Amino acid sequence: MIVKIKLFGDPGLNTICCCINSCLKGYQEEVGIKVIIGNEILKYREDIIREICELIKIRSVTGAPGKGKPFGEGVNQALEYVLGLGERLGLKAKNVDGYAGHIEYGEGDEIAGVLVHLDVVPEGIGWTFPPFEGVIHEGKIYGRGASDDKGPAIVAVYGLKVLKDLGIIPKRKVRIILGTNEESGMQDMKYYFTKEPVPGMGFSPDAGYPITNREKGILHLALVKLGHGVNEYGHKDESGRKDECRHKDMCGLPIQEIFGGEAVNMVPAECRAHIPAEKIKPGEVLYLQELAREIDGENIAVLFEEGKGLIILSKGKSAHGASPQSGINAIYKLLSFLYNAENGSMGNNSGIGGIVNNNAKNGSVRNRVYLDSYLKFLYEKKIGSDTTGHSLGIDLKDEESGALTINLGKIIYNQAEKRAMLDIRYPVTCNHEEILKAVKEQAEKEGIHVEIIGHSPPLYVPATHPLIIKLSTAYEKITGEKANLLSMGGGTYARTLKNNGVAFGGAGTGAHQPDEHVSIEDLMRHGKICTQAIYEIAT
């Protein structure tokens, strides 16, 4: 049952009606009548679709900082756009030095928050539809951010608008907090909460339903080796001097550069290695091309361009760093190919083995790629292939949140620097220091330094917390289903609320993958639940 008092143009009558609504709400809940307002968002369906498509058109990938734009021009445009939307809807809006902002409704000392983010991961490759156009096809909105997290962000703003439309006087001030750096370390929230109070309760619509009250810890590490070049004959030279090898023709081909991955929290879809042109003989190109065709002709390509050299390109399948088992790691695929190339591995029926052997006898072909100890460490420890951490001795799990996962998200390898970046999601009952110690023990044996480039402790909110009760109420009112409690490997802004926030809701498919999209039907179902949840935490 819904009791509504219609508002009029006179401000005095509006105030009286709002007071009556507030009293009626208290009476209804006291006598057990459910107040349901979630369905009211359906009247904004077309507006929500339009605004999501417009927001997707802004390529809000983290970029070079500027004055008042700490995370780049695109991210700042997205923030200004949504703050402007809030103002156009008659809500209060505030930009907090370009780091974040909020859209607000209500008064009072207490604050309830809905935390969303407007930054997105890079688009990657393999899209059917343009990633930054907001294409609508067969009832779905396609584009980077459609589900993570621009779609839910726009829905949350309109959910707040519903409260204002109905003249509901909330017990708490409600803020839709707009973040700009969720995908790259959450430095935005660290800054924002030095300027604004932390909400006493809140949720982030950046996961799924029902309620995720446990989020694994997130540890980002870099495996680094500096100042150890590879000379022109493919031998390590700790001093930087060239090694005058007596067997120049038979030494391995030197890898000048490897680059792969776009973000540490994405399974890389592409990786490439470069060998200088002056180091290559014609037979070596033929050997590597035949090897690529035999191993995986569809996803490994060996290309030679006069004057530039040899490019070895591997393709994988992108996925979210929280579920690396769902993707195919292009960096590891390349390492595996190079390892085979170093060892002269070919099938017995390919015919190329004879070519290699004959050329080797004539001293005309080195026929092997040289892998230094750094690349061999990554390959032999299956970093990028083993998503459980078993090969590093960190395959941990617990009943509360499940098993640890590890993703090799990026690699930068050249004469000056070797850096591989790992995304480790660890169970809520585990200690990140123990994980760090285990990785260091393995890496330091090969002279590899381990750096912490980011750490976010686990989140755990008990079932008895008032927030869980309120969100359960919202979910059950709209769906008629019980709100079960879930665990996930992803990390949301909920963990910035000091165990007074959870991930709740969201809609869409393919976060961090090509053809990310959201079904409009699912989006509006989420809109009803989210609006009801805003009402519950507000009152």
Tokens of 477: 């009112």
Q: Which amino acid is at 363?
A: G
Please pick, among 51, 119, 342, 423, the residue that the annotation labels catalytic: 119
Alpha helices (H) along 4-143 = 11-30, 45-56, 73-88
DSSP state of 121: -
Q: Is the peptide bond before 149 cis (omega within 30 degrees of 0)?
A: yes
Look at the block and give the residue holding tokens 């979630």.
38
Mind giving me the DSSP string for 280-337? Answer: --HHHHHHHHHHHHHHHTTTEEEEEETTTEEEEEEE-B--BTT-GGGSB-HHHHHHHH
Question: Is 398 considered catalytic here?
Answer: no
CA distances from 315 to 268, 323, 333, 421, 487 (A): 8, 18, 8, 18, 31
Residue 106 contacts residue 112 (beta carbons within 8 Å) = no
Residue 517 contacts residue 143 (beta carbons within 8 Å) = yes
d(CA 212, CA 506): 11
Look at the block and give the residue holding tokens 């498919």.
509
Crossing angle of helices 150-166 and 520-538, rounded to 10°: 50
What φ, ψ does residue 426 adopt, rounded to 5°? -115, 155
d(CA 430, CA 63): 34
* Cβ neighbours, 10 Å, residue 461: 23
Tokens of 92: 């209060």
Question: Is 182 considered catalytic here?
Answer: yes
Tokens of 30: 């006291």
d(CA 94, CA 84): 10
SS3 helix, strand, coil % of the chain, rounded to 5?
A: 35, 25, 40
Q: Which amino acid is at 283?
A: G
d(CA 422, CA 279): 32
Half-sphere exposure of 329 (CA within 13 A, CB side): 29
Tokens of 533: 């949840």
Residue 258 contacts residue 413 (beta carbons within 8 Å) = yes
What φ, ψ does residue 299 adopt, rounded to 5°? -120, 0
Please pick, among 123, 182, 284, 290, the residue that the annotation labels catalytic: 182
Annotated catalytic residues are 119, 182
